[in-house]
């Protein structure tokens, strides 16, 4: 038993050390949170003010996720938070909730909170209890919350309605239903500050628009409350009072979103000669292609006419043994049409080659400028610029081609117009 006792002794030492470390951890100062919440009825309720604030998960760990955060959420305002994946948007909400440690700067979050997490938390109970979450039932507010969260059709489809028992983690609900139940729980709570961590991502665009307009938006149910909305759906941001752009735990930009237009003089320098060049090539191509397309249409009609007449007189042709003459007539008419068709396609390829060369030149010039300015722009911005340059060039080229093709096909409409203007040879008696 001696070797076994040594093994158990080492486990006891390790377990004791872990218990000692856990018991020596600093306790969260709930009194500070209570003090902030005590302002729920004064002029500071619903405000968030951070000045050069840095936050980390562990007070002993000097690596901060959020750095130099400056944000001012006024009472009753709607703040939109956006950023790429991994930009610490959810961490900002955790910092406001007091879940992260303040390592430097100042932070003041006043009032009570209601929170809708990015991954909805649903416990095993009825839908009603998941929404009330220990609060007393207010029938009027409860019905309003169900309406603005678009839950009434889902509840009506259930046999027990909102008394339907849902499993652990909401296994018998869809992803959109779980997100709306979690959102309804936050909205039902009468808080000063509402924190929404991308709750509209799990629902379709129509439902998301309805929930935003009826609940979160400037004219919604919570219009008098402070709301912080983390979202990737940028169509909602113009309606926010203030927007914050996060990038790798830092605020890259903030302010009201009205219309942002950035004009780069170097881009204008490229586009000024490019647009007239496209227009000139298009006009040059149309001068010949329009006539060739008309010739193609004119030479195609005799083929169809001869084929139709041959079918009706097939027996006569066989009786007189004139198949070879008819075949030669077909070959002559097909050759005439093929010459026009070949010239038309050759012209289209000539046109496409010139457009490809021009767009390739634009992309090459963009790449050269990116390399020349590599110390002024980061890699992600350079990649985005090249991608948009290629996309813009392709779409512009496609638009020019389609406009030219449409004008070529208008020769058919021209022929119809001419036929409709022909005077009838039949005279009514």
pLDDT for 379-408, tens place per residue?
A: 777 777 777 777 776 777 777 778 777 876
The answer to the question of residue 335 being in a domain is yes
Mean pLDDT of the chain, nearest integer? 80
336: left (phi over 0), alpha (psi -120 to 50) or beta: alpha
Q: Can you give the pLDDT at residue 384?
A: 74
Own/partner contacts of 415-419, CB < 8 Å, gap of 24 or more, are 415/297
Q: Can you give the pLDDT at residue 352?
A: 81
Q: Return the bridge partners of 79, or none.
A: 228, 242
Q: Stretch 227-251: mean pLDDT, rounded?
A: 86
User: Are the C-beta atoms of residues 288 and 346 closer than 8 Å to each other?
Assistant: no
Q: Using pLDDT thresholds of 50, 70 and 90, give the confidence band for residue 42.
A: low
Other C-beta atoms within 10 Å of 98: how many? 17
* 256, two tokens: 């009201």
SS3 (DSSP) at 243 = strand
The answer to the question of residue 310 being in a domain is yes
- End-to-end alpha carbon distance in the chain: 129
Asked whether the predicted pLDDT for residue 153 surpasses 50, the reply is yes
Euclidean distance between CA atoms 89 and 233, whole angstroms: 14
The answer to the question of residue 270 being in a domain is yes
The answer to the question of residue 208 being in a domain is no
Say which DSSP state 424 is in.
Answer: P
Q: Using pLDDT thresholds of 50, 70 and 90, give the confidence band for residue 175.
A: confident
Nearest to 114 by CA among 38, 190, 177, 44: 190
Number of domains in the chain: 1
User: Are the C-beta atoms of residues 36 and 107 closer than 8 Å to each other?
Assistant: no
The answer to the question of residue 231 being in a domain is no
Own/partner contacts of 211-220, CB < 8 Å, gap of 24 or more, are 211/148, 211/149, 211/150, 211/180, 211/183, 212/236, 212/239, 214/147, 214/148, 215/148, 215/149, 215/183, 215/187, 216/78, 217/78, 218/78, 220/148
Asked whether the predicted pLDDT for residue 241 surpasses 80, the reply is yes
Q: Stretch 217-222: mean pLDDT, rounded?
A: 88
Q: Using pLDDT thresholds of 50, 70 and 90, give the confidence band for residue 27.
A: low
Kindly state the percentage of the chain with pLDDT values over 70: 86
Q: Can you give the pLDDT at residue 331?
A: 92
What are the CA-CA distances from residue 266 to residues 261, 263, 391 (Å)?
A: 15, 9, 18
Q: Where are the alpha helices (DSSP H) in 65-174?
A: 89-97, 127-132, 139-148, 152-156
Euclidean distance between CA atoms 289 and 188, whole angstroms: 67
Euclidean distance between CA atoms 241 and 217, whole angstroms: 10
Say which DSSP state 172 is in.
Answer: T
Q: Can you give the pLDDT at residue 424?
A: 65
Asked whether the predicted pLDDT for residue 36 surpasses 60, the reply is no
Asked whether the predicted pLDDT for residue 32 surpasses 50, the reply is no
Q: Can you give the pLDDT at residue 338?
A: 92
Residues ≥6 apart with Cβ < 8 Å to 355: 278, 281, 397, 400, 401
Other C-beta atoms within 10 Å of 385: how many? 18
Euclidean distance between CA atoms 29 and 244, whole angstroms: 29
Asked whether the predicted pLDDT for residue 177 surpasses 50, the reply is yes
The answer to the question of residue 49 being in a domain is no
The answer to the question of residue 127 being in a domain is no
Q: Can you give the pLDDT at residue 267?
A: 52
Q: Can you give the pLDDT at residue 39?
A: 43
Q: Which helix (H) or strand (E) segment is 213 a member of? A: none
* 349, two tokens: 């390829």
User: Are the C-beta atoms of residues 80 and 240 closer than 8 Å to each other?
Assistant: yes
Lowest mean pLDDT among 53-57, 260-264, 281-285, 420-424: 260-264
Nearest to 182 by CA among 173, 288, 343: 173
User: Are the C-beta atoms of residues 103 and 109 closer than 8 Å to each other?
Assistant: no
Euclidean distance between CA atoms 131 and 154, whole angstroms: 14
What are the CA-CA distances from residue 56 to residues 93, 110, 148, 401 (Å)?
A: 13, 20, 36, 55
Lowest mean pLDDT among 147-151, 273-277, 284-288: 273-277
Q: Can you give the pLDDT at residue 257?
A: 61
- Going edge to edge, which strands form the sheet with 78-83? 113-116, 193-197, 226-230, 78-83, 242-247, 250-255
Q: Can you give the pLDDT at residue 135?
A: 87
Q: Can you give the pLDDT at residue 60?
A: 63
The pTM (predicted TM-score) of the whole model is 0.56
Domain ranges, residue 354 = 265-420
The answer to the question of residue 285 being in a domain is yes
Residues ≥6 apart with Cβ < 8 Å to 102: 53, 54, 55, 95
Q: Can you give the pLDDT at residue 61?
A: 59
Tens-digit pLDDT profile for residues 65-105: 888 888 888 888 999 988 888 788 888 888 888 888 888 88
Q: Using pLDDT thresholds of 50, 70 and 90, give the confidence band for residue 345.
A: confident
CATH code for the domain in which residue 358 is found:
1.20.1560.10
User: Are the C-beta atoms of residues 170 and 120 closer than 8 Å to each other?
Assistant: yes
Nearest to 102 by CA among 71, 72, 57, 70: 57
């Amino acid at each position: 038993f001696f070797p076994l006792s040594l093994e158990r002794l080492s486990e006891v030492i390790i377990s004791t050390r872990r218990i000692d470390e856990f018991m020596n951890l600093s306790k969260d100062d709930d009194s500070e949170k209570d003090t902030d919440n005590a302002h729920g009825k004064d002029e500071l309720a619903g405000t968030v003010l951070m000045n050069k604030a840095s936050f980390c998960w562990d007070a002993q760990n000097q690596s901060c996720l959020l750095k130099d955060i400056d944000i001012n959420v006024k009472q009753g305002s709607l703040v939109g938070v956006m950023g790429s994946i991994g930009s610490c948007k959810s961490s900002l909400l955790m910092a406001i909730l007091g879940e992260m440690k303040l390592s430097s700067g100042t932070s003041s979050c006043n009032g009570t909170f209601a929170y809708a997490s990015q991954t909805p938390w649903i416990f095993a109970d009825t839908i009603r209890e998941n929404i009330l979450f220990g609060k007393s039932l207010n029938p009027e507010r409860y019905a309003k919350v169900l309406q603005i969260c678009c839950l009434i059709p889902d509840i009506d489809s259930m046999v027990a309605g909102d008394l339907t028992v849902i499993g652990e983690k909401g296994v018998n609900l869809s992803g959109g239903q779980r997100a709306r139940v979690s959102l309804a729980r936050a909205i039902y709570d009468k808080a000063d500050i509402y924190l929404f961590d991308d709750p509209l991502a799990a629902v379709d665009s129509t439902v998301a628009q309805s929930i935003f307009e009826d609940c979160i938006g400037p004219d919604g149910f919570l219009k008098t409350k402070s709301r912080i909305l983390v979202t990737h759906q940028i169509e909602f941001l113009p309606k926010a009072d203030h927007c914050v752009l996060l990038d790798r735990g830092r605020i890259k930009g903030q302010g009201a979103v009205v219309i942002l237009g950035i004009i780069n003089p170097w881009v204008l320098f490229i586009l000024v000669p490019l647009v007239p060049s496209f227009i000139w090539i298009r006009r040059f191509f149309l001068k010949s292609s329009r006539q060739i397309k008309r010739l193609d249409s004119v030479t195609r009609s005799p083929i169809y006419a001869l084929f139709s007449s041959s079918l009706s007189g097939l027996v006569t042709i066989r009786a007189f043994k004139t198949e070879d003459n008819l075949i030669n007539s077909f070959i002559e008419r097909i050759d005439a049409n093929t010459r026009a068709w070949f010239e038309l396609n050759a012209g289209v390829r000539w046109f496409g080659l010139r457009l490809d060369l021009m767009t390739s030149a634009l992309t090459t010039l963009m790449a050269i400028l990116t390399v020349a300015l590599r110390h002024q722009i980061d890699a992600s911005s350079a990649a985005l610029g090249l991608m948009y340059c290629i996309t813009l060039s392709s779409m512009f080229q496609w638009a020019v081609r389609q406009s030219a093709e449409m004008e070529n096909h208008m020769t058919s409409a021209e022929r119809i117009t001419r036929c409709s203007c022909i005077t009838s040879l039949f005279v009514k008696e």
